[in-house]
Structure 1
């Protein structure tokens, strides 16, 4: 279990990030990481604040630490997989992005954001058919556009075989 002091400090740092004081939040989170090096939640929040500040390369080890083991709540784990996969992609580490985002989609198959970021990473590794299939399936499943909904079955069919004539 976590101590109340740790919980209060973490909550205060998250509030700072949410209020736009990301550099202050970063300083507090780095201090918390030093005190709690095996704390997955602190690591995840530290990764997140680095991403907010555009410090993607510095975010990676914190994301990795947060995902190591089972210390994150499911929603935070989902966010960490998305954040790490997206960060790898921004850094041009496309294969790692695909692997991380596939892991996220495997763990959270209904998550449209993970599937969207996976499609972008697939595009980056020239897996265009799978990228298109992923996006078309997501579009067919989630669109509220009446015209898209009207053609949902056809879109799902073509998503499985983009080279099909009919």
Structure 2
């Protein structure tokens, strides 16, 4: 049996990612689970393993891989952002709403310009009954990012209402 070299890991990981991207997700999952067993402390391998589980609808199985990826070192900023969004979204899908809010809130703190994290956080906030917070977040995001001239023209009003939906102007 060969040693666990970085070269082995890189090639095997790249091949598994290619399989996932080509739609051969179950085959990719098998390879990534084996890679995770071989390199259990590797955050990037854990992230890719979580991701493939999510694409297969195996959310509960994805969670420990996401948690391992985020606890480890070596994720790029893009992969860390993806892991935070993936874990938070997965917690939400599993009904673990408070954990979803905590994870996604941490992601928004770490990556304040990421609209995807904010959108998933709004959904999780809704699931916890924090509808005002969810609406505030979504309306603020909409006002800041829209290219629709019909909405952009009302940006100041939308931003003001986002703070207090019960307010009158």
Question: What TM-score do you get using the length of structure 1 for normalisation?
Answer: 0.98
Among 57, 60, 72, the residue aligned to 1:57: 60
2:156 to 113, 132, 153: 153
Matches within 5 A, 1:98-113: 98-113=101-116
Distance 1:100 1:22 in 2: 26
8 Å Cα contact 2:42/2:72 also seen in 1? no
Once the two structures are TM-superposed, the CA of residue 139 in structure 1 deviates from its matched residue by 0.3
Q: Does the alignment pair 1:82 with 2:77? A: no
1:129 and 1:70 map into 2 onto residues whose CA distance is: 36
Query: Aligned residue for 2:10?
Result: 7
What's the offset of the Cα at 1:140?
Answer: 0.1
Query: Unaligned 5+ residue runs, structure 1?
Result: none
Point out where structure 2 has 5 or more consecutive residues left out of the alignment. Answer: none
Q: Deviations over 1:27-55 (max 9, x none)?
A: 11011111100000000000000000000
- State yes or no: 1:48 paired with 2:51: yes
Aligned residues: 165
Instruction: Provide the C-alpha distance between the structure 2 equivalents of 1:69 and 1:98, rounded to a whole number of angstroms.
Output: 21
